[in-house]
Amino acid sequence: MAERDVPEGLIPHRGPARLVRTILDDARTDVLVCGGRIPPDSAFAVGGRAPAVIVLELAAQAAAVQQALAGKAGDAARPGYLVAVRAATVRADVVAVNVPLVATVRRTGQAGPLATCDVTVTGPEGQEILTATLSTHAGD
């Protein structure tokens, strides 16, 4: 399907905290692929680079997009929380700001506001930067 912007207001992240930008593939119910980047004005960026582990935030935001898309249309965006990270592997030390990144989220479990998913974030050449299992809470 065609790439499209993440709808404004779907998740509550704004400004330099917003890493996820586009939805690249949501054809499957349990898998979502999003595009994003680390903004140059990120609080974590120094000299045009940021610690690579920051891409975990992109994955978490993609997971929030997936949960929001599965929710009721018209629901207000609520702050969600990262509850746990398991089995994370980080394959780079730093990532350049403003380079295109791709986050793939595969939902593996859901119980009310709690969800678990396997995530992978790749860089502009398709190289794997991070893999992990995330547990998130959709917020109160």
Partner 1 sequence: MATEIFDGLTVVQEAVDAAGWRARLRLETSSRVFAGHFEGQPILPGVAHLVIVRHALRAMGGASATLRALPSVRFRRVVRPGDVLDVSVTPPDAGGRCRFEVRIEDTLAVTGVAHGGRDG
Residues lying near partner 1 in the complex (CB under 8 A) are found at 12-18, 41-44, 51, 53-54, 56-57, 60, 79, 81-90, 93, 132
Q: Which is nearer to partner 1, 42 or 67 (CB)?
A: 42
Nearest distance in Å: CB 53, partner 1: 5
Nearest distance in Å: CB 10, partner 1: 13
Q: How far apart are CA 96 and CA 13, in angstroms?
A: 21
- Cα dist from 83 to 31, 94, 137, whole Å: 20, 24, 6
Q: Which is nearer to partner 1, 28 or 84 (CB)?
A: 84
Work out whether strand 4-5 and strand 101-111 pair parallel, antiparallel, or are unpaired: unpaired
Q: How far apart are CA 120 and CA 133, in angstroms?
A: 9
Nearest distance in Å: CB 29, partner 1: 26
Q: Residue 110 has which token pair?
A: 């859901």
Q: Which is nearer to partner 1, 22 or 25 (CB)?
A: 22
